[in-house]
Structure 1
Amino acid sequence: MESRFKEWVYIEGLMQSAYHESALKMNLSDSEFWILYVFNFHQEGCNQSVLYKEACLTKSTVNSAIRKMEQKDLLYLTPGEGRNTMVFLTEKGRKLMEDTVYKVIQIENTIYDTWTPEEQKLFMKLNCDFAEKLRDKINEL
């Protein structure tokens, strides 16, 4: 079957490869990188479920990464409401986030800022629209 998204799949692969390469250069696993990336948006800690949802990782991958990061003194856990577990960066974890993920976010921002406001809006609109429609159609399978 012909895929009209062959080029997009390739582009998506290039982006994922770039993020993977950045994690390797920073001595992080991919899951550690994405967990730290999500913490950029949740500076005061977050529910463990937020990490797997926003990092787009499986629960087991996040759980495994959290255990390893906890052993490295990068984060700590506290009980939340009900069965929820809250996750917080330690000072060491916060420093690691600043020394690694912040560099990648700066690169993203620099690229994004080269676009006009209209291009930025269109980029977000089209990607969001596609992601939402794809999710909805996949849920119908």
Structure 2
Amino acid sequence: MKYEQGKYLKEFNRFYRELDQIYHELAVRLGMSDSAFVILYAIMELGEGCLQKDIAAWCSLSRQTVNSSIQNLKAQGCLFLDSGKGREKEIFLTEEGKRLVKEKIFPVMEMEQSVFEEMSPRECREMLKLMGKYVGKLRKKAEEC
């Protein structure tokens, strides 16, 4: 059985896989797993005190993957958990975690920001507009399946 992709879908998928590969290679060069990298990145985006479920939703990872990675980061002395509402646990960086983020995550965030700054505001708006449109249409069709 063979499916013939349209040229736009084929090119979009190539870009998607290339982006994924770039972030994987960054994580490897930084000596981190993909999930540890994205979880520390998410904590910087969401703020300390966020919940595992928030990270899972933000990263599009399963709660089980997030929990496993958080336990590993906790064992490495990078994170600690504190009681939140009910059974929820809020996530915080230790001093080691803050050092790790400063040395490894912030430089990646700065690199990403510099790429946007190399593009014109119009190019940035157009790219985000089109990605938003694609994601919205894909989500709607996925919900209809």
State TM-score, norm by structure 2. 0.91
> Aligned-pair distance for 1:90?
1.1
Q: Give the gaps of 5 or more residues in structure 2.
A: none
- Deviations along 1:32-69, one digit per CA (max 9) or x if unpaired, are 00001111113332011111111111111101001101
Give SS of 1:88's match: strand
Give SS of 1:127's match: helix
State TM-score, norm by structure 1. 0.94
One of 57, 64, 70 as aligned partner of 2:68: 64
2:34: which partner in 1? 30
Q: Give the gaps of 5 or more residues in structure 1.
A: none
Distance, in Å, in 2 between the alignment partners of 1:132 and 1:86 is 30
1:42: which partner in 2? 46
- Deviations along 1:60-115, one digit per CA (max 9) or x if unpaired, are 11010011010011101122212322111111111111111111111111111111
Give SS of 1:100's match: helix
**Greater helix proportion:** 2
1:3: which partner in 2? 5
Matched, 1:102 2:90: no
2:116: which partner in 1? 112
Distance, in Å, in 2 between the alignment partners of 1:59 and 1:43 is 18
Number of residue-to-residue matches in the alignment: 141
CA contact (8 A) 2:48 2:91 kept: no
Percent identical among aligned pairs is 33
